[in-house]
Amino acid sequence: MISIVIVDDHAVVRSGLTMLLEAVNDFSVVGEASEGDEAYAQVEEKKPDVVLMDLSMPHGKDGLSATSEIKKQFPGTQILILTMHDDEEYLFRAIELGASGCILKNAPHEELVKAIHQVASGDAYLYPSATKRLMEEYMDKLKNGSKMDSYRLLTDREREVLALVAKGFANKDIAQKLVISVKTVEAHKAHVMEKLQLKTRPELVEYAWKKGLIGYS
Task: Report the chain's mean pLDDT, rounded to a whole number.
Answer: 84
CATH number of 151-210: 1.10.10.10
Q: Read off the pLDDT of each residue in 143-157 and give the average, rounded to a whole number.
A: 67
Please write down the HEC assignment for all residues of 147-184.
CCCCHHHCCHHHHHHHHHHHCCCCHHHHHHHHCCCHHH
Confidence of residue 134 (pLDDT cuts 50, 70, 90): low
Handedness of CA 148, 153, 157, 158 (dihedral sign): negative
| pLDDT reported for residue 89 | 64
**Which one-letter amino acid corresponds to residue 45?**
E
CATH number of 2-143: 3.40.50.2300
Looking at the chain, the domain(s) classified CATH 3.40.50.2300 span: 2-143
C-alpha 7/C-alpha 57 separation (Å) is: 9
C-alpha 175/C-alpha 211 separation (Å) is: 23
For the question of whether the overall pTM of this predicted structure is more than 0.75, the answer is: no
